[in-house]
Amino acid sequence: MPVVNVEEKLGKFSEHWAPKIVAAFNGHDVMVVKLLGEFIWHSHPDTDDFFLVLKGKLTIELRDGAVHLGPGELYVVPKGVEHRPVAKEEVHLLLIEPAGTPNTGDKATAAEKRPI
């Protein structure tokens, strides 16, 4: 497996809310994504949701509060917990999810994940 330069991968696209697969391990996708604005409220019934902020400040709204993350900080939303990521300025994230997990929790509305 080649070395993955995360900054290089992030430099290859500009769209927001469209995760890009940069590696895979043990049936999981390792992805980078750029966020700006508010995402939809959603949950993942079968898996936790891992967020690691690489750049910017991210708020993860939960129905009973919010989590605020900066560069180098991570948070795991437990499976089944409804949440909504919010980025007032562009945020770069590293995500790890079981392969095929829809980013909205629903395959019908999820963004297509593509290798980059």
Q: Can you give the CATH number for the domain in which 79 is found?
A: 2.60.120.10
Task: Write the DSSP assignment of 8-37 as a string of letters.
Answer: HHHTT---SS--EEEEEETTEEEEEEEEEE
In a domain, 106, yes or no: no
- Secondary structure E strands in the chain: 20-25, 28-38, 49-55, 58-62, 65-69, 74-77, 83-98, 114-115
In a domain, 67, yes or no: yes
pTM, 2 dp: 0.89
In a domain, 111, yes or no: no
In a domain, 49, yes or no: yes
Q: For 5-49, what is each residue's pLDDT tens digit?
A: 999 999 999 999 999 999 999 999 999 999 999 999 999 888 999
In a domain, 48, yes or no: yes
* Domains contained in the chain, number: 1
In a domain, 14, yes or no: yes
